[in-house]
Amino acid sequence: MIFRIVIFLLGVVMASLGLSFIIIYLNLLNMGYSFSEYVNFIIRKWECLIMIVGFFFIFLSLYRKGIKK
């Protein structure tokens, strides 16, 4: 049970950190980047990709079956 809570909290931290970087990088649109260039930039940055890993951890901790004893 503790393992699932730790994985959930780690996922929330990673997802929020990645989402905050995506919001910070929205300033590139004001600097003249098109939306397709912005998306291309986002998918190449590891800071933004940890959001996907965070969502995976959250999903894993919520929907993984526990071991029955």
- Tens of pLDDT, residues 4-40: 899 999 999 999 999 999 999 999 888 888 999 999 9
- DSSP string spanning 37-57? HHHHHHTT-HHHHHHHHHHHH
Say if residues 25 and 17 touch (Cβ distance below 8 Å): no
Q: pLDDT tens across 41-63, in order? A: 999 988 888 999 999 999 999 88
Q: What is the pLDDT of residue 48?
A: 86
pLDDT computed for residue 66 by the predictor: 63
Overall pTM surpassing 0.85 (yes/no): no
Judged against a pLDDT cut of 80, whether residue 65 lies above it is answered with no
Question: Would you state the pLDDT for residue 50?
Answer: 94
